[in-house]
A and B are shown apart, each in its own frame.
Chain A
Amino acid sequence: MAKKTGRGFAAIEYPTGMNQNGDPSQAWIKLKPDGRVDVFSGTADIGNGSKTIQSQIVADTIGVPYDWITYDNSNTDSSPVCTGTFASRATFVAGKAVLNAAAKVRERILDIAGKELEIDPSDLEVVNGEVIAKGAPDRKLSVADVAVAATWTHGELITGTGAQLNPYAEIVDPETGQVDLPPHAAISYAACAAEVEVDDETGDLRVTRLTQCYDVGRAINPMLVEGQIEGGAIMGLGLGVLEECYPYYPSVENRGSQFGSYLAPGMADMPKMDTIIIENPSADGPYGAKGIGEMANNSQPPAIAAAVFDALGVWITELPITPERVLRALDAKAAPRRAGKVVSFDEELSLASVAHADAPVKLVVEA
């Protein structure tokens, strides 16, 4: 009886945006008379950081400091459509909507600055809150002064609207599942190595280290994306070793009804974590970004399961890998059934093991 250690690995991919697309987001932006920027977006921030991310995108796209941005997603009277904060779409799809709106605001700033400076707008750029003549940086006007001029000289409101809609990818053949367009806005990739320590007497399992790498396209905010990756990893750890609504699934008995009887990860469960970010920009995302919010909890369970096999020599394919499942697996020492070139694991869990012989659905078996 001893504590055993093991290592496991997994690699995954995950789409950005709703499956099959067709999920619009819209935004509008206006300037106050001192040049400060009001962003109206319908994207709920569920902790994913979209208020911050979208504000960063707007700041750089217009060319003003980040702290000039006020972000309002508070209600449907002032904010336009956002399909929602799900499907890893808030940075890419909704972020593209605010980018498109900000680009129009920038154009309006250049138009009015051009009149004030008597320079063709195409010879101007907006840098850090100032409109500057390309190649003649002493000829400039602050964006604040442009907004003043718009309000009191030209009688105009500097505003811009933007939207993003990746067209709906239709399943053109339900027999094969073939689609007529890419069914995603982008695809992100990740890999994870897990290290575990498991007690073969008690079944106690600790994830001691997670080394993870994500291709995020472009890290709009590296600190927030690291937060997504590490927070998601803890959720994946919950999936892998702790959490279940139905402890004896498919039975519906023994459900946890409070945090005292439903085991979610806490700080004591935190493994050491190393996070590597790769930036392989997406062709269409804002500044090359992809969405990784959801996939951040997908790679840990299989990496942990492989590490448990490495430590104990048993495969556990019902999640979570609780001490009870570890001990039952060690007792059973199940070996796959071998017949010719066919190696069959987990037959005791299969549909065929439970279903009526006449049931119409089964995984077709060849010789």
Chain B
Amino acid sequence: MKAVGARLPRYDGVAHVTGRTVYVDDVRVPGTLWVKALRSPSHHAAITRLDTSAAERMKGVQAIVTHADVPTLVYGHLSALGIPGDEPLLARDEVRYKGQPIAVVAAEDEETAQAAVDAIVLELEERPTLFDVRQAFDPDAPTIHEWGNWYPHFEGEMDRRQIRKGDIDRAFEQADLILQGVYRPAAIEHAPIETQVCLVVPEPSGRLTIYSCTQALYFSMGVVAAHLEVLLNRLKFVGGTVGGGFGGKVDTATETICSLLALKCGRPVKWRFTREEEFLVSSTRAPWHIELKDAVSKDGWLLGRRTLTLHDAGAYARFSPYGLTKHSFHHTGAYTIPNLHFDGYVVFTNRVPTTAMRGFGVTSVSFAVETQMSRIAHELDLDPYELRLKNANRIGDTSPNGVAYTDPSTVATIQAIAEATGHELTAEYRTMTGDHREGDWLPEHLVGQIRDPEEQH
């Protein structure tokens, strides 16, 4: 029997649903210490005093780490992609969001760890806050970030992600309808059943065994190694079975700090975020602000699109520049639009940093593009399925980046839904395919615009 194509049960499904899967929190090691964090009570402030000495003297406290204990304090998780680091593992001079970790305690039990956190002396000088991405560019806006209020390090040291394609002004001149909308999908929680958790065990060999809920063992191992300035053979990540991730467990939220604690006191250290920490200080999906302005002919051809996107990164960049780039690459949705003008900014605010989440960068623009399409269909009194079929990606059409599509299924998926729901299409739309454009599907005004002019077909 062939396995591929078979409805085989999940490899680990029975163990999951009978409670026998061993997750990080189920691993028991004698002598494990509890961890609690001192977090910023302020959305934005300068740290004027940080004194852990009284907490360190408390009975049962085994180790406290602050910024001073981290060999490489700032490491860019996507430095390999040219995105420099901006976020200190533990805050040093400034806190930029409420809940930012400042000092972390390992102690014999949970109560002692919390008492030690409470005994740390922290003095702050409040700074003005910024929460609305639309005000980040104001001349009198408070400055949130060392880089200013938006990310300035795209290729060519540009302060935004750009897409330019075709002749946008001509498209808008030719338009019979120009339709503009503003789309604001919300931040949501990853809300995994398993909160952020790790257990770090210092081995007699000098290695660290790191039980981790990461979605990416080698990626997280690289992050820990970079902060600690150690080679990979010093670390062993154990994991691969995750109690819900959805993107939030790419963050390596606890592993590095616990490794520092374990090295400092030579004891196993475990940190499991409380549900409140998971909700309030672990990263979220980003809120987005997307403005679309489409140039459309009266019979429903998309001629051009102008886009302005503000990606609310929260206090630090994390993966946001990557997410915005992916967003820009897909801002035409499942359709071919020959003339494009896209500007997108990664904007900093004093909220919890946002991160990857299922559909990263594209979920937001799918909502914007599709609602825009529904509005255009209504405005022009066109069938919403047929408007989409008319503009659907076809073989040989080019993407916003100028890459030819090889096997698009926009047409097939739309036709399947029309058939399944009894939505009647006219014959030309019922029988069309996603193959190369010709005839009525390549109107004269799109010849030479819609596909690579050098492509012969």
Contact among A287, A344, A359 with B4 in the assembled complex (CB-CB below 8 Å): A287
Contact A243 B403, CB 8 Å, known A12-B366, A278-B409, A345-B179: no
A10-67 residues with Cβ-Cβ distance < 8 A to B are: 10-15, 19-20, 22, 42-47, 49, 51-52, 55-57, 59-60, 65-66
Query: Smallest CB-CB separation from A87: which chain B residue?
Result: B360
Query: Smallest CB-CB separation from A342: which chain B residue?
Result: B178
Q: Can you show 11 pairs from A to B with CB atoms below 8 A apart?
A: A42-B218, A45-B12, A75-B239, A85-B242, A187-B405, A245-B284, A256-B189, A264-B189, A301-B185, A315-B181, A356-B135
Judge whether A13 and B240 touch: CB under 8 Å.
no
A174 sits at the interface (CB 8 A): yes
Contact A193 B275, CB 8 Å, known A56-B6, A224-B10: no
Judge whether A86 and B187 touch: CB under 8 Å.
no
Contact A44 B240, CB 8 Å, known A60-B2, A81-B218, A298-B366: yes
Bound CA span A43–B451, Å:
37
Judge whether A192 and B417 touch: CB under 8 Å.
yes
Kindly list chain A residues whose C-beta atoms are within 8 Å of the C-beta of B169.
Answer: 366
B339-374 residues with Cβ-Cβ distance < 8 A to A are: 341-343, 345, 349-351, 356, 358-363, 366-367, 369-371, 373-374
Bound CA span A302–B371, Å:
5
A20-B81, A171-B155 are known contacts; what are 9 more A-B pairs with Cβ within 8 Å?
A11-B333, A82-B216, A218-B5, A246-B186, A246-B187, A280-B407, A302-B366, A315-B181, A315-B375
Bound CA span A356–B4, Å:
58
Contact among B214, B285, B325, B417 with A191 in the assembled complex (CB-CB below 8 Å): B417
Judge whether A305 and B367 touch: CB under 8 Å.
yes
Contact among A20, A257, A297, A305 with B280 in the assembled complex (CB-CB below 8 Å): A257
A183 sits at the interface (CB 8 A): yes
Bound CA span A20–B155, Å:
14
Judge whether A9 and B385 touch: CB under 8 Å.
yes
Contact among B3, B135, B162, B356 with A66 in the assembled complex (CB-CB below 8 Å): B3
A153 sits at the interface (CB 8 A): no
Judge whether A75 and B238 touch: CB under 8 Å.
yes
Q: Closest CB-CB distance, A6 to chain B, in whole Å?
A: 11
Interface residues on B, range: 35 or more
B139 sits at the interface (CB 8 A): yes
Kindly list chain B residues whose C-beta atoms are within 8 Å of the C-beta of A85.
Answer: 215-216, 242, 245
Which of A117-125, A137-145, A198-206, A208-216 sits within the interface?
A: A208-216
Contact string against A for B residues 213-237, beta-carbon threshold 8 Å, 1 for contact and 0 otherwise: 0111111010000000000100111
Judge whether A244 and B187 touch: CB under 8 Å.
yes
Bound CA span A211–B414, Å:
11
A156 sits at the interface (CB 8 A): no
Contact A343 B370, CB 8 Å, known A215-B412, A222-B5: no
Judge whether B276 and A10 touch: CB under 8 Å.
no
A316-336 residues with Cβ-Cβ distance < 8 A to B are: 317-320
A136 sits at the interface (CB 8 A): no
Bound CA span A255–B293, Å:
33
Contact string against A for B residues 1-23, beta-carbon threshold 8 Å, 1 for contact and 0 otherwise: 11111111111100000000000
Bound CA span A176–B343, Å:
10
Bound CA span A295–B361, Å:
11
Judge whether B191 and A262 touch: CB under 8 Å.
yes
Contact string against A for B residues 307-329, beta-carbon threshold 8 Å, 1 for contact and 0 otherwise: 11010100000000010011011
Kindly list chain B residues whose C-beta atoms are within 8 Å of the C-beta of A82.
Answer: 216-218
Kindly list chain B residues whose C-beta atoms are within 8 Å of the C-beta of A319.
Answer: 184-186, 367
Contact among B135, B172, B407 with A282 in the assembled complex (CB-CB below 8 Å): B407
A268-289 residues with Cβ-Cβ distance < 8 A to B are: 274, 276, 278, 280-283, 287
B279 sits at the interface (CB 8 A): yes
Which of B28-36, B105-113, B126-134 sits within the interface?
A: B126-134
Kindly list chain B residues whose C-beta atoms are within 8 Å of the C-beta of A75.
Answer: 217, 236-240
